[in-house]
């Protein structure tokens, strides 16, 4: 029931965006649209993009594996350098419950090892991915 309450705003907002968008599309191409109409069109496009972003973000947040992968991909932005990212991801690997998230961690570790010239460790991660051994070790 709570989920339905949270979704009630989406349909009216989407309807308004679509109606306004359709109205702008129907303006003949040969007619010169004034700056107000052009500004309104840009604003509607901004609302469409924002609504799309919200819906995409919601899909990620509702899917545990997708949210975990997104978190893994954000580690590099949140750490001081690649070595700190390696340390964090290595520490998180045994705690990841999702097989998908463990594979994402191994992919990122392989990339970070490659960039820090730790070729053997990178190949070890790649080997585990190829063999399907993405366990927490």
Burial tier of 51 (Cβ tally within 10 Å: 0-12, 13-18, 19+): middle
Going from the C-alpha of 21 to that of each of 7, 8, 16, 65, 75, the distances in angstroms are 22, 21, 8, 35, 38
pLDDT tens sequence across 96-132: 999 999 999 999 999 999 999 999 999 999 999 999 8
Residue 47: Cβ within 10 Å count: 16
Q: Where are the domains of the chain?
A: 2-62, 64-131
What is the signed CA dihedral for 52, 102, 92, 122, rounded to 10 degrees? -110
Handedness of CA 49, 50, 53, 55 (dihedral sign): negative
Task: Give the span between the Cα atoms of 107 and 72, in whole angstroms.
Answer: 10
Task: Give the helix ranges, DSSP H, for 33-98.
Answer: 35-62, 64-78, 82-92
pLDDT tens sequence across 55-99: 888 898 899 999 999 999 999 988 989 999 999 999 999 999 999
What pLDDT does residue 65 have? 93
What is the model's pTM?
A: 0.64
What is the DSSP code (8-state) at residue 32? P
Residues with Cβ < 8 Å from 14, sequence gap 6 or more? 51
């Amino acid at each position: 029931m709570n989920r339905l309450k949270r979704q009630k705003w989406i349909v009216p907002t989407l309807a308004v965006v679509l109606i306004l968008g359709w109205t702008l599309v129907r303006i003949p191409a040969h007619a010169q649209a004034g700056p107000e109409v052009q500004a309104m069109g840009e604003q509607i496009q901004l609302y469409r993009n924002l609504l799309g972003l919200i819906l995409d973000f919601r899909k990620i947040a509702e899917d545990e594996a997708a949210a975990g992968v997104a978190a893994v991909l954000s580690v590099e932005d949140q750490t001081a350098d690649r070595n700190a990212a390696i340390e964090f991801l290595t520490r998180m690997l045994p705690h990841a419950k999702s097989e998908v998230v463990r594979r994402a961690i191994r992919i990122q570790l392989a990339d970070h090892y490659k960039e820090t010239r730790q070729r053997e460790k990178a190949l070890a991660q790649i080997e585990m991915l190829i063999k399907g051994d993405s366990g927490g070790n």
